[in-house]
Amino acid sequence: MSTINLKINGAEVSATVEPRTHLADFLREQQRLTGTHLGCEHGHCGACTVLLNGEPVRSCLTLAVSCQGAMVETIEGMEDDDTMQSLRDAFKSEHALQCGFCSPGMLMTARDLVRRRRACDDQQLREALAGNWCRCTGYLGIVRAVRRVLDANS
Amino acid sequence: MKAPEFDYQYASSLAHASELLSNAGGQAKLIAGGQSLLQLLNQRLIAPQLLVDIRHIDALKDIKEHEEKIEIGACVTSAALEDGVVAGTAGELLAHVASQIGYRSVRNQGTLGGAVAFADPAGDWPATMMSLNAVINVLGSGGEREISIHEFYRAPFVSVLQDTEIIVSLSIPKLASHTKWSYWKFSPTIGEVTKAIGIAIRDPEISDHRLALGAANGIPCRPTGIEDAWQAHNAAYADRDAMKRTIAALDVADDDYKLQCLTIAAERAIAGTYP
Amino acid sequence: MSTSGIGARVERVEDERYLKGLGRFVADIQLPGMLEASFVRSTIAHGLITQIQIPADLRAQVFTGEHLSKLGSIGADSTLPGFQSSFFPAIAREKVRYVGETVAVCVAKDRACAEDLATQVAVEYSPLPGLATMTAAIDPSAPLLHNEWPSNINLAGEIGEELADDLAPVCVQRNFVTARQCMVPLEGRGVVAQWDEGRQQLTVHTSTQIPHLIRRALAETLGLKQRQVRVIAPDVGGGFGLKLVLQPEEVSVCWLAMKLRRPIRWIEDRREHLTVGANARQHEYRVKAYAQTDGKLVGIDVEIDVDAGAYSMWPFTSCFEAAQAGASFPGPYRFDHYHARTRTVMTNKPPLQPYRGVSRTGICFALELTIDALAREVGIEPAELRKRNLVNASDMPFTNVVGKIFDSGDYQASVTTAAEMIGLATVRQAQQQSRQDGRLLGVGFGSYTEQTSHGTKVFAGVGIPIVPGHEQARIRLTPDGSFEVMTGLQSHGQSLETTLAQIASEVLGAPINDIKIIHGDTGETPFSTGTYASRSIVWGGGAVDAASRTLSKRLKAIAGALLNCEASDVVLDDGKLRSREREVSLADLASVWYDAPEELSPDLTDQPLEAVGTYKPTSDHGAFSYATHAATVLVDPDLGAVEILDYVIADDCGRQVNPMVVEGQTIGGTVQGIGTALYEESPYDDNAIPQALNFAQYRIPSALEVPNIKLRSTESASPRTAYGIKGVGEGGAVSPPAAIINAINDALVGYGVEILETPATPERIFQALQQAQASKK
């Protein structure tokens, strides 16, 4: 077991973790932040996407123990985030979710895209979302929702 | 599926990492971005006793520009390369290749050195490094050594790197600004096992014609027969049958379809350098 | 009157919690003292278990089939004559029949530790040949999966009599194969079970589409009364059919919770899903279609084999899919002669489960490719050939060749619309011109009619143990004047929390935000067979409508007394009850009834402000939704790669409760169908060992592979259902393999080659082209 100190959604956290525990399990099981979901645990589906030091990462492919000193943000930490609020509104009006399981990861990736790239064409938008899988919507609502927020920002 | 148990050590410096490896008796693995390693661990396909974490070592994140070459630290991420941290024509090529690797959230963590060391034959970086004639700078218990990328790989997922060695950086000879390059990758869906990669580099002024093929049944390769024919042709070379024969002779395609994909990769990568 | 009633494109009430990461899925549940389970699974496809070695110090944490030997079979039998019964143990005993079958279960403080235990359990087998294909399984020398059977054929069926070879001047003949695949909801399966010894009560949180049926099955299997079992399906991250059967793991986890008196959690991981979830779609078809020279269909003769895997899952059985395939193969077409032979064949693969569209995706593929082959044979544009043979709108209701009675709609118009949307004439012109980049353009169509919301007699006819009768719903006015609606259905993406509220809103006039839909919990809701077969909005909606109407009458009576008017003059609108002159809010009415009953006459207070409604459609044939999908593709003949250029849908699911939701269901299903058409496949080697165990090997579509699908809908109300609603959940997934692969074959027409198999991977297309070239030489 190792002790790590890190910031999660703005709060200082000190915890002991097993080396093998990945960040997603640490957040879900030890911190009870269950908005971060596990859809494959091998880096393809994107349901576990969180921000590590401001950048989206796969929390299933990140060891919690390696997050010593890091800043981690999850969907639960996005309450006061304007970009996230715009995305949430757009996701509702474009019916960009059905079962809702992929939504937190999808939103974290979409937020990164919107903030990192003010303008992008549809192909680039789809490439940016390609690492977050949704089995329900067929993506068209998601693409429209993210497009709506991108266009409003540019 | 959860990873099996292992120990973890945070290496504070290159020397520290080297020491940890030396003491581990071959049972340790380095972890940098971890994007391939954790996939294997999470499927219990490997069971190392110890992971030595080198991602925080600043010396591994340097990018140094020399007169003839650029030296890129092993822990520079694909996302950084995508965002253009390396200047010049080679930097443009690296940025493009990086943008084609998996997903941004993987590129944010995955490192150049890690990908080269992992030696996935379908990976983007090994074939790219081969096209760029990269030199791998390695630190081992006996000191530093340089390994040409052309002598680095032995077999899929196997390189000449020893258990105690660490890739420190990759030196990439610069490309002249008028150099044309083309990266062609065939993957029916993003993120699946790539079927073929072709990278062509053409410097017309010094008649430099390079072609690297990746995602073969074997390590990435430079089909010199095609490069020579292309150079002799000195124009958009597209003799598919000849290319196919050359690739077939290299023994890097286990079946007809792989041979076809690699042939088309060669053809389209070369064509891509004639915009 | 309601602005959020039927037909309103309103935002979903369930969205907020998901978008904030506050959905509550099974894996999110932690209970005090909870242990986690991991299964030891068979690594061989077929064999006898000779020994299971458990380290002595782990015996309190590892359990095998012997421990569960008092439990009965968890499988289901059909009452159809000839059906071969098998014993399906929750954990294998003596014999394993597919890779991934549970052999033991391990419990520990967390999942990682439970997996560590599983690696220490050594299972020895005496292997038998693994039967990877139906061909291998029906070979007379094949070993039997179930020793007491005469062969590995589970059930054979026949409809009609063999057609004469000279039935018509034209006959096209094709054989088709659809690959085995996984359903891949983003959330896998999962169970948390807790046993309360004092109350003798089992509480089970499970990711299921059918909580009431799971309660029944668990009670029967575990020897409990149903009142001792409460099943709760919390938020469920997609189902698609994966979660509408009793799972072996559900039984094992409940047994463990009772045995160990500790809460037990098991969460399926993706490797498990891709191994044991490879359970859908695998069919083979041999089709002969007879027609006149003008392309008019005369008859179809089809042989259908369904690869049902190793066991018969409860409740839909192993033979449901073949029975449905035989009965549904005639599709939306009109012809007079039909003969079908069906076989359900057992192999050493995971037990078959009904996946979105069930057999219809396969039969649409086989039938629609046959239609295109016929069109080429007689030289008629495929879209035109469809129109010639589809049932006429003026013939509705129409009884087809197997006696299905279609209710309403204009099937031919859907082809016309789709052809117009895809620009058929323009595509045909473009095909004449030489192309710059060497890629081949093709266009394809896929039409279907889907029997949705079908009822009692249809299910009884296939002999399964569960037959839906009347659907029930309960509604109550709360003391503060809002509504709670209880349904035994389960919503896992279908948007029922919104659309059922819209139906209640239509009747009760209250805004949907004041109507809470409670679902998925056997402790709180009336019995329902659950969410499947595109039935929920029709059946559940009808029941909510009925309950709402009953309650509405009582509310109007009370309001009449409060407003001094006739009950019949009261109108419910926007949360108020209005007479011509005055109004009272629902809140005030509730306040009087609950808090000041002395102000009301006894004949108004002795009727509950809670009502149960029941419903079933007026015909068990159900409501037939239909559509024509069309696609244009570019095929790269060098690589076999396919790009979908354009994709259009002309569909009709009757009256739409919420057009936004209907679009979402259709597009979502269509993209799953694109996966079936081009990417998704669970291959097995000759020993029936699965080959696609992770997402690098098993591909589902991402945003990058999906075209901008265009949709145009009509609404032909069903005369058989409340408000004319038809089901829509599955339809999108039916046509894509047909439309896309027809388009590919159209592109390849000059090569004299057809793709007759799903998925149409680049390699398959390339190999077909190679063979065509070789045969020309």
Residue in C271, C678, C701 nearest the CB of B43: C271
CA distance readout (Å), B67 to B62, B70, B205, B258: 16, 8, 19, 40
- What would the two tokens of residue C455 be? 């009822």
The model carries a pTM of 0.98
Q: How many CB atoms lie within 10 A of CB B262?
A: 29
Q: How many angstroms separate the CA atoms of A132 and C440, rounded?
A: 31
Q: How many angstroms separate the CA atoms of A113 and A129, rounded?
A: 9
One-letter amino acid for residue B199 of the chain: I
pLDDT at C434: 62
To the nearest 10°, the Cα dihedral for C50, C52, C56, C62?
-150
Residue in B10, B34, B39 nearest the CB of A68: B10
Q: Do A61 and B43 touch (CB under 8 A)?
A: no
Q: Do A46 and B105 touch (CB under 8 A)?
A: yes
pLDDT at C435: 62
Q: Do B188 and C699 touch (CB under 8 A)?
A: yes
Q: Is A73 on the interface with B (CB under 8 A)?
A: no
The H or E element spanning position B210 is strand B208-214
Contacts of B257 in chain C (CB under 8 A): 763, 766-767
Contacts of B51 in chain A (CB under 8 A): 19, 63
> How many residues appear in chain B?
275
The pLDDT > 90 percentage for chain B reads: 95
Contacts of C770 in chain B (CB under 8 A): 256
Task: List residues in chain B touching A: CB distance below 8 A.
Answer: 1-8, 10, 31, 34-35, 38-39, 41-43, 51, 53, 55, 79, 102-106, 108-109, 190-191
Strand order in the sheet with A55-58: A11-17, A2-8, A71-73, A49-52, A55-58
Q: Do A36 and C21 touch (CB under 8 A)?
A: yes
* Stretch 70-129 of chain A: residues touching chain C, C-beta under 8 Å: 74-76, 79, 88, 91-93, 95, 97-104, 107, 125-127, 129
End-to-end CA distance of chain C: 73
Residue in B5, B79, B105 nearest the CB of A58: B105
When pLDDT is cut at 50, 70 and 90, the band that residue B191 belongs to is confident
pLDDT at A92: 98
DSSP B2: -
CB neighbour list of residue A136: distance below 8 Å, 6 or more residues apart: A97, A98, A99, A102, C186, C238, C493, C664, C668
Q: How many angstroms separate the CA atoms of C301 and C342, rounded?
A: 11
- What would the two tokens of residue C561 be? 């007394």
Contact B97, B129 (CB under 8 A): no
Q: Is A34 on the interface with C (CB under 8 A)?
A: yes
Q: Do A98 and C663 touch (CB under 8 A)?
A: no
Q: What residues in chain C have per-residue pLDDT under 50?
A: none
Contacts of B45 in chain A (CB under 8 A): none
To the nearest 10°, the Cα dihedral for C68, C71, C74, C77?
140
Q: How many angstroms separate the CA atoms of B45 and B33, rounded?
A: 18
Q: Give the pLDDT confidence of B208-263 residue by residue, as tens digits.
A: 999 999 999 999 999 999 999 999 998 899 999 999 999 999 999 999 999 999 99
Contact C350, C420 (CB under 8 A): no
Q: Give the pLDDT confidence of A14-26 residue by residue, as tens digits.
A: 999 999 999 999 9
Q: How many angstroms separate the CA atoms of A66 and C547, rounded?
A: 56
- Residue B108 pLDDT greater than 70, yes or no: yes
pLDDT at A119: 82
Q: Are strands C471-477 and C641-652 parallel, antiparallel or unpaired?
A: unpaired
Q: Give the pLDDT confidence of B123-174 residue by residue, as tens digits.
A: 999 999 999 999 999 999 889 999 999 999 999 999 999 999 999 999 999 9
Contacts of C240 in chain A (CB under 8 A): 135
Contacts of B186 in chain C (CB under 8 A): 639, 641
Question: b/e string for A106-126 if b means 16 or more Cβ within 10 A?
Answer: bbbbbbbbbeeeeebeeeebb
Alpha carbon of B122: minimum distance to chain C alpha carbons (Å): 12
Residue in C112, C641, C704 nearest the CB of B190: C704
Q: Are strands C576-578 and C583-585 parallel, antiparallel or unpaired?
A: antiparallel
Interface ipTM: 0.98
Chains that touch C (3 or more CB pairs under 8 A): A, B
The pLDDT > 70 percentage for chain B reads: 100
- Residue B29 pLDDT greater than 70, yes or no: yes
Give CA angle at C303 (C301, C309), nearest 5°.
160
